[in-house]
Amino acid sequence: MTGATDTALLTAIMQAAVDAIIISDGGGTILRASAAADRLFDYEDGQLIGQSINTLMTHDHADTHDGFMTHYLNTGEKSVIDIRRDIEGRRRTGDIFPLHVSVGHTRIGGEDLFVATLHDLTQSHASEDALTRTQRLDAVGQMTGGIAHDFNNLLTVIIGNLELLGLRCTDEKTREFVEDAQDAAELGADLISRLKVFARKGDLKPVATDLREVCNATISLLKTTLGGNYAITTDFDDNIDTILVDQSQLQSAIVNLVMNAVDAMHGSGELAFSISNVVIDDAYIAQELDISPGAYVRLSVSDTGDGMDREAQRRAFEPFFSTKADGGTGLGLAMVHGFLRQSGGHITLYSEPGIGTSFGLYFPARDTMTAARPPTVPTDARTQRWLERQILIVEDDPQVLKLSLKRIRDLGLQTHQATSADQAYALLQAGLKVDVVFTDIVMPGKMSGYDLAAKIKAEFPTVKLLITSGYTSDIISAKLPHDVSFDVLHKPYRQADLVSRLAALLADES
């Protein structure tokens, strides 16, 4: 091959490689970087060339890296060369993320060259965390089920003997002691029954149910109990599939969620209930929800309470975990989780501190024909000539951002990203040209997604806006008042829903 052919081949490889590839010299200066490397570290094409490899590392790792490389070049001892390992990388934005890296060494024309191959582990770690969480809950559930069974046997003997003792008591004081012991034993039996629900071993009696009817009946009861300090809104679709569910346990689950919400709202607030049919028909949302594809009916229960931090969200469904000031039993959400899983469904949690919390309860639709309903919009945007369209994705959650970038890129659009509304606004002011801004509502920093959208509408009128949130529109509007009304794409959403919204936004340009 000629030198020109070799160079063209190397360039083609660097552009086509799926994993990131970076070539640096002996001093750690980057000489070549693949297109995947630019995307991985959030740099524009060619921006990595000439920079120090240390800029892509955490500060701790960068401090030791030069010493390792110098030692290798002087002694030939391999401490990092030809070894696969997991480290942390640093994007241009400063975000830290997990990487799998391997580094090789070669010499060309007397010059030392190092070739690093890097693979992003963010999604892998997220999947492992989700699997670990599910396995942990399953293991605790199995243990809890066994303990509940044994305790039920013990309580049966205790309660039975107390009843016999009570029949034989002639002394009134002794009878009081026996009745107190019986009451305590009955409370223990009730606790065990709730543990069995978490362990998915409760005695369910599923019947064909219209979720709206049960929800309306429960809300009527709650309104009397809660009083006038809590505003309750409902948004139920007209045509809802029936589900097979234990109505008593369903009502108990709704009450549990509402009582948790009331505790988090401290005397006043807003509760929003919505019910709709949902078809899980693409890999994105099935992965996002850890749920099998098919037809479901979704009940969303949202509040304007304190919200939960990341750690509380991670442990929310564990038995005996509670964020309440008085400790609580920590069984409410665990019971709801177990009930949903035993019913063949799933529960999701979306929360932001200071904004509120939204639970999504997914029940399999009884009408299996719903599962065959095709998406109403084709999911291949390339047929709509979107290949040159530019979209700015604004999302502060790294996992959601990564998923959104993949979704949008799979549609053929060119992507840019920002992790806050403030950063997105600065990019637009600096001259970034985009066709669409796709932003979450709740954002760190001074501006919310609504604030960003209002500024874009006023200052960049040709830019289209698509807003998304895990909350219902009523809840987020109450917490983040704004002068301009925007249609919200609710999380989690299907790829077909995303295509439909983008198609409507770009209809006059495509």
Within 10 A of 166 (CB to CB), how many other CB atoms are there? 15
Cα 297 to Cα 117, 315, 371: the distances in Å are 44, 25, 11
Distance of alpha carbon 117 from alpha carbon 97, whole angstroms: 16
Cα 499 to Cα 150, 382, 493: the distances in Å are 53, 11, 10
Map out the domains of the chain with their CATH numbers: 3-120 (3.30.450.20), 125-198 (1.10.287), 207-372 (3.30.565.10), 381-505 (3.40.50.2300)
Residues counted in the chain:
510
Q: Which of 405, 429, 446, 430 is nearest to 91 (CA)?
A: 405
pLDDT by residue, tens only, the chain of 510 residues:
555 666 677 777 777 677 888 888 878 888 888 888 888 888 888 888 888 888 888 877 766 766 667 666 667 666 667 677 788 888 887 778 888 888 888 888 778 888 888 888 776 656 556 555 555 555 555 555 555 555 665 666 676 777 777 777 777 878 788 777 777 777 666 665 655 554 445 567 789 999 999 999 888 888 877 877 888 989 899 899 999 988 888 888 888 898 888 888 888 889 999 998 988 776 656 656 667 778 899 999 999 888 888 788 877 877 666 666 555 555 668 778 878 888 888 888 888 888 888 899 999 998 644 444 444 444 444 445 566 789 999 988 887 888 788 888 888 888 899 989 999 999 999 999 999 999 988 877 888 888 898 899 889 999 999 988 876 655 555 555 555 566 678 777 777 788 888 888 887 554
Question: What is residue 210's predicted lDDT score, i.e. its pLDDT?
Answer: 93
Packing angle of the helix pair 421-429, 449-459 (nearest 10 deg): 20
Q: Which run of H or E residues covers position 351?
A: strand 346-352
User: 3-state class of 141 per DSSP?
Assistant: helix
Within 10 A of 123 (CB to CB), how many other CB atoms are there? 14
Instruction: Give one DSSP letter per residue of 369-430, joined into a string.
Output: GGGGPPPSS-S-GGGGT-TT-EEEEE-S-HHHHHHHHHHHHHTT-EEEEESSHHHHHHHHHT
Cα 163 to Cα 47, 154, 158, 192: the distances in Å are 81, 14, 9, 20
* Paired tokens of 60: 């701790």
CB 80 within 8 A of CB 43: no
Question: What is residue 377's predicted lDDT score, i.e. its pLDDT?
Answer: 44
Distance of alpha carbon 220 from alpha carbon 211, whole angstroms: 14
**Could you tell me where the DSSP H helices lie in 199-282?**
211-226, 247-265
User: 3-state class of 4 per DSSP?
Assistant: helix
CB 290 within 8 A of CB 134: yes
Q: Which of 86, 115, 84 is nearest to 102 (CA)?
A: 84
Question: What is residue 363's predicted lDDT score, i.e. its pLDDT?
Answer: 93
pTM of the model: 0.56
DSSP state of 268: -
Question: What is residue 136's predicted lDDT score, i.e. its pLDDT?
Answer: 53
Distance of alpha carbon 17 from alpha carbon 36, whole angstroms: 7
Within 10 A of 349 (CB to CB), how many other CB atoms are there? 17
* Paired tokens of 314: 């991670």
Q: Which of 126, 123, 132, 122 is nearest to 318 (CA)?
A: 132
Q: Is 204 exposed, middle or buried (0-12, 13-18, 19+ CB in 10 A)?
A: middle
Distance of alpha carbon 440 from alpha carbon 492, whole angstroms: 12
Close Cβ partners of 104 (under 8 Å, ≥ 6 residues apart): 81, 82, 114, 115, 116, 117
Question: What is residue 240's predicted lDDT score, i.e. its pLDDT?
Answer: 92
Strand ranges across the sheet with 436-440: 414-418, 390-394, 436-440, 464-469, 488-490
